Structure 1
Amino acid sequence: MEIASLRPKLVSLRATSFHGENKAVSSGNEPWNIQLTQTIEVGLGAAKDVAAPLQAIVKIDLLAKASKAGAEDQLAEFSGSYEARFDYPATATEAQILPLFEHEPYQYVLVAQAFPLAMTHFRREMQSMGFDARELPLGI
């Protein structure tokens, strides 16, 4: 069971990359088939900051491929990478934290905080490129 004094605090989420390609012309109401692939990695790292020497890191890679229904040659593709960092208290040790990482619910709590933020950015970037991304989920 997690001890409250070892609970990490989300300190940053950053987009490390985004690439999109949407050359299809849309009138706004055409149906699209969207396939979203997500790759999520969770790990423990050492920070350079002495105040918070240990960090949990969540890396999220998103890839969305879409094709217009009835016109499979009209394609759009978007990819984004995100990194969330969680600081542990300065008193936390690696020996205390590593056993927590072995449990899926602990990893899920970290991912559940970072994923909606990454997905919100991903959807907004897709919309800025003329693609309606409201159908994509915000949660995991």
Structure 2
Amino acid sequence: MPEMTAPRPVLRSFRVLASNGENRGEAAGVRMRLELQQEIEFGLAVPDVAGAPLMVGVRVKLGAKATNENDAGDVATYAGEYEARFYYPAGVTEDTVTPLLDNPEYQYVLVAQAFPLAMSHFRRELQAMGLDARELPLGLPYN
């Protein structure tokens, strides 16, 4: 696991930006094939207000499509979009942070904090729709 070099941002907020799902088919006892998509984005926010801290946003987009193994017309879908906001200590400059955000290990440490929160909500919503999402991972593998 990589060590976070200074400056270290602090996760201050996490929220669900969008949530949309549909499962009108048979939910109980049906074998479904689950396809998962994910997209992760980073963004550095530089404040207009003097003295306000820099913020890094991590956006996680997850999508699932479950197809009934016996009836291809029976499809359930769910998509969720999540945002984690990390704030840097006062005095940290854009010039200091920009090269860090290009480092995959630095990115990993931020995503590894946001992804489990997003996946926990995502799995819970899939299960509420009648889909078995217990096998979906909560964390990220480290390469």
Q: Same fold (TM over 0.5)?
A: yes
User: Hey, what does 2:114 align to over in structure 1?
Assistant: 114
User: Hey, what does 1:21 align to over in structure 2?
Assistant: 22
**1:75 is matched by which residue type in structure 2?**
V
Check conservation: 1:2, 1:100, Cα contact below 8 A.
no
Separation (CA, whole Å) in 1 of partners of 2:111 and 2:48: 23
Check conservation: 1:8, 1:86, Cα contact below 8 A.
yes
**2:101 is matched by which residue type in structure 1?**
F
User: Hey, what does 1:58 align to over in structure 2?
Assistant: 58
User: Hey, what does 1:36 align to over in structure 2?
Assistant: 36
* Structure 2: segments with no counterpart, 5+ residues: none
User: Hey, what does 1:128 align to over in structure 2?
Assistant: 128
User: Hey, what does 1:77 align to over in structure 2?
Assistant: 77
Instruction: Tell me how many residue pairs correspond in the alignment.
Output: 138
- Secondary structure in 2 matching 1:13: strand
1:64-112 per-position Cα deviation (integer Å, ceiling 9, x unaligned): 0010112211100000100100010012111111110111111111111
Task: State the shift of 1:26 in Å.
Answer: 2.3
Task: State the shift of 1:130 in Å.
Answer: 2.1
Instruction: Summarize the Cα distance change of 1:95–1:60 in structure 2 as closer, same or farther, 3 Å threshold.
Output: same
User: Counting strand residues as a fraction of each chain, which structure ranks higher?
Assistant: 1
1:94-139 per-position Cα deviation (integer Å, ceiling 9, x unaligned): 1111110111111111111100100101111122222221122212
Separation (CA, whole Å) in 1 of partners of 2:92 and 2:129: 43
Check conservation: 1:59, 1:81, Cα contact below 8 A.
yes
* Structure 1: segments with no counterpart, 5+ residues: none
Separation (CA, whole Å) in 2 of partners of 1:102 and 1:47: 20
Check conservation: 1:52, 1:88, Cα contact below 8 A.
no
RMSD: 1.8
TM-score w.r.t. structure 1 length? 0.90
- Secondary structure in 2 matching 1:78: strand
Check conservation: 1:52, 1:87, Cα contact below 8 A.
no
TM-score w.r.t. structure 2 length? 0.88
Percentage of identical aligned residues = 49
